[in-house]
Structure 1
Amino acid sequence: MKKLLLVLSVAALLLVLAGCPGWFGPSQPEIEKLTIPEIKAWIDDNNATTTSEKLVRTEGIVTYTYSNYAYIVDSGNNGIKVYSDGNPDLSDYEAGDEVEVTGCPLLYYGDEYEIDITVEKGNIKKIGTSTLPDPYTLPVHSELSIDVFGKLVQITGKYNGQNTYGHYDFQNGTKVVEAVSYSEMPSMTVGGTYTVMGVTGYSYGYKLFVWDENNVTEIEIPILPEEPQENTLAITEIQYKPSGDEEPYPYEFVEIYNATNTDIPLGAVILTDGEGSYQFPNDFELGTGEFVVVGETIDASQNIDLSWSGKIALSNGGEEVILHVDKENPKDPAEGKILCKVSFKDISSYGQSVYLKQNTADPEIIEDFDTNWDVTPAEEQYMYFETTYNGNPAKNYGTPGLANPGW
């Protein structure tokens, strides 16, 4: 009987204590494990702008550290800031360290998504090392914003020098991107072009936080080839209707002539028929009084020197062919510098090229097709290539790479 009373007494005491949870001390907040995107979504959904009892735990890769803050990203380059009061000293961590972070999530002053680890049970610990994800390339004319906060970002732009705050300014099109002054930057030349990778952080505005000088690379800008002057190059022969079975008509060509007494660099020159375009090799020069023949297929037996590789297909019915300088709009030279043009017409039979009758680069003469152009005679002395068409001989007449009839 005494044992039964003792058991009943203990049970009653437990029921009383269960009704008074305060006797055991305050309950502890639950730690919720979330990804970085889920943490940022929770912050937005709950308008969390100050610390609270909410605790989250996540993992990430360190991209930048200072004594009282660090930035981490996940494998998809979603990033967030980790805030400390300096204890622990977050500068002890290295870029590439994989860490587990526990703390309170918030949007600090509306500018920075962060996890505050100064709260009770907040901490950070290294759990391994990992490779950083590929950076996000900031589009030209764009600036850093909260949309890319915490992300690894890469820009390529001209270095403008240090501003009045000691930050490093880079020109990104019409916008300026600042790298913070306490980033470890290499010696740079004002006016030089650099590719810079860092994490988007906040310090009186969104700025690029660069880990070290290994994340800054100077870009060598190639020297652009000299642009030829007008009235120096002439389109002198066009084979637009070659004879033969093969497609896409490997025997088509356009012949260009240097009518001056000096060599002409063609690296900036584009040949177009309005539908396709071909740019000459950067280091190509056309000697004085020489010809260059551009066609579908390079063939020494036909004197075809360069291939436009399917980029141009001449119309059998005639069209305009243009030499110009305009890399921004290679197929539309309206805004560029036109060096030579001719609107040829369908006046020849299959296999016969059309040619400029005068040795000149005068645009008025070249453009007057009806008066100053003719069909290469179907004579043996002008036959430069023979193939077959439906099993029958197919002869092609012209003077590719050579002086035209009557010159």
Structure 2
Amino acid sequence: MSTKVLISGASIAGPALAHWLGRYGFEVTVVELAPALRGGGQDVDFRGRTHLTVLERMGVLDELRALDTGGSPMTFVDADGRQLLHLPAEFAGGDLEVPRGELAQLLYRHSSTRAEYVFGDTITALDETPSGVRVSFRRGESREFDLVIGADGLHSTVRRLAFGPAEDYVRHLGYYAATWQLPNTLGLPTGSVGLSVPGRLMSVGAGHRDRSRAGAFCLFASPELRYDRHVPAQQKALIRGAFAGLGWRVPQLLESLDAAPELYFDSISRADVPAWSTGRTALIGDAACGATIGGMGTGTAVVAAYVLAGELARARGDHRTAFARYEKLLRGYAQGCQKGGDRTGPFLAPRTPRGLRFRNALLNRRWALDKMLELGKQVSSVELPDYEAELSGRSGATR
């Protein structure tokens, strides 16, 4: 009888894990609160040997190369549109940069033939029994699974139910960020152009695939705010308040919020969970070691999915052994990647005029920019087992 695994979350980590578990013969269900796959979002990048090795072993590297944007240059301007700083595409693009929504669709396609997806529902209770975990859902009937995996992001429901409240594990880093789509009525180029003032950044650029569409991105410094994450109107009001009174294209971008088909809004925060598993429940991706922006969370999630599934297959479903090996192998690597998220807000939106001038003056010097580009190539890596090669001669690996 196959091991039954419930994965909470259908963004990146969840479908990547479902892909591997299905490949190893596990019986997989993925539950997602949203009514469908979420599109949009910022482009995401993969960097270094570890990321590319996993993508190649998944069989998706060539497909992702076909989606590669080539990177997104960033230009910072003042209120009159005068250029303050330009950063080339390779500054943020890594070895491979793809639209987040297209990555999510690809991972869903590769996993959905081997996994059951349940959209528009969420977990409300977890009750561990001697033989499994009894899971209650907001809409569906309760079901029992052998294992439960929280791949549901920084605000993980699984982490809250099985480990404790978010405030025990998630630390606010002093900024909020948002992205949304709008028509490209301004004749914008690809990449991004943004107004940069102390503590605030508002930028916009044309889509890489569809030049008739554009993506807006904003980031602003703020202490922790109280709002409902499921009520976009509250989030839009916070964005308008943070950017009220600014010039350049900011008024037009704020107006476009009303018609935005989808809004991403969240704090820049990081999750630090002392142990990634408890009993039959484990965490993966941002739920375990998240950093909202700049912490290479997408690549880390894909690597973690590969390792967690491989260790469960290697251990023949023995979750205690597999969870321990998974965390031992990946914790140091994930934390090394995560550190980048601490610097994202202060870099994109320095809080003071002096800090803004220093960033612009430094990176307008070619030697300093070259040094930053070189440092960006020095990413964390980890030696990964070749699980499929190891298991290829073994029958019933997950039985």
**What's the TM-score once normalised by structure 1's chain length?**
0.19
Which structure features the higher share of helix residues? 2
**What's the TM-score once normalised by structure 2's chain length?**
0.20
Which structure features the higher share of strand residues? 1
Q: Which has the higher contact order (CA 8 A, sep 6+)?
A: 2
